[in-house]
Amino acid sequence: MGVLFISHDLSAVRSIADRILVMHAGAIVEAGPAERILTAAEHPYTRALLEADPAGVPRGTRLIPAGSGPALLRGRDSAEEPPTSGGTDVVLEARGVSLRYPQAARPSLEEVSVTLRAGRTLGLVGGSGSGKTSLARVLLGLQEPDAGHVALLGEPWSNLPERRRRARRTAISAVFQDSLGTLDPRWTVRRTLLDALHHRQPPGAGATGGVHHDLDELLDQLALPASLLNRRPGELSGGERQRVSIARAVATRPRVLVCDEPVSALDVQVQARILDLLDDIQARLATAIVFISHDLAVVAHMSDDVAVMDAGRIVETGPAGRVLEHPTHPYTRELVDAVRTVTR
């Protein structure tokens, strides 16, 4: 049987393909044996794809070299590496969190505890159904745990009436995989971002001019062209929509950003720009990030610490390098070995 395997996942292509065709702008720009394409690419576009792959790229190293694309977050030198040590302030903490959905065969979360510090990224990995998204919903205050508690900025966050959380909602934001589904299809980019910026204004500010100045600043910092402002989500590319989603999420200058599979639907070059953008945001605002993904190469590149989930529990946690390079739990070893087999 012959197989035509179409993907933007270079690791998956590497594991299955005998020959590779590289397409760009509707044309095949390079074709040949997989080994030659992946190790000695000739076309500039193919080389750019391979260079944007996060596999093996150390934490803090840009995937898109300075000067080869838009300067994201111009408040700092685009070549400056973001800090990886972070601060010591605990900004988000879950202790003994458990959750069971009605009719579920087993708990979605069982005595889960995580700690997130300012300026650091916690990578959350595990298979489908392991509880990653359920934990994200609990951390965001979108789902109440059946047991345990969550604290945001040192104060209770879970199991509170929403009116008691509302004043702190701007301290925690989220970016999801399905940017088209999370943006209002009726709203223009301008209305979406202005709505977020209005929530940043102090009570009684009411300075419309100030909000519009903030909008211009936000567009400039995230390298979003003003030409997007009058367009709706359905008129944007996947990468543009995801950058708008990130712009909306960071408009309130949150202390915590929860990213649930934010780049899994994007091609490798757009993925690289989004990952660089998240690093830039963290460097400028000292934002703490929870980064959820099934892609261990992306998690290794983005994370200071890693927590591995299986069947609703955290089975291993620690510094990213130690967990992913020298795993101790059998499930973590299984995940890492699967990646090594694919990339071999």
**Tokens describing residue 99:** 């959750």
Supply φ then ψ for residue 91, to 5 degrees: -105, -25
Closest CA to 324 of 117, 82, 81, 123: 123
Closest CA to 39 of 27, 31, 50, 30: 50
pLDDT at position 303: 94
Q: Any residues with CB less than 8 A from the CB of 78 and at least 6 apart, and which?
A: 62, 66, 67, 71, 72, 280
| Distance, CA of 251 to CA of 170 (rounded, Å) | 9
**Tokens describing residue 317:** 């946690």
Supply φ then ψ for residue 333, to 5 degrees: -60, -35
pLDDT in tens, the chain (344 residues): 999 999 887 778 888 999 999 999 899 999 999 999 988 999 999 998 888 888 888 888 888 876 554 444 433 333 333 344 445 699 999 999 999 988 888 899 999 999 999 999 999 999 888 999 999 999 999 999 999 999 999 999 999 999 999 889 999 999 998 888 889 999 999 999 999 888 765 444 444 446 777 888 888 777 788 889 999 999 998 888 888 998 899 888 899 999 998 887 778 888 888 888 889 889 888 999 999 998 888 999 999 999 999 999 999 999 999 999 999 999 999 998 877 655 55
Closest CA to 275 of 169, 132, 320, 283: 283
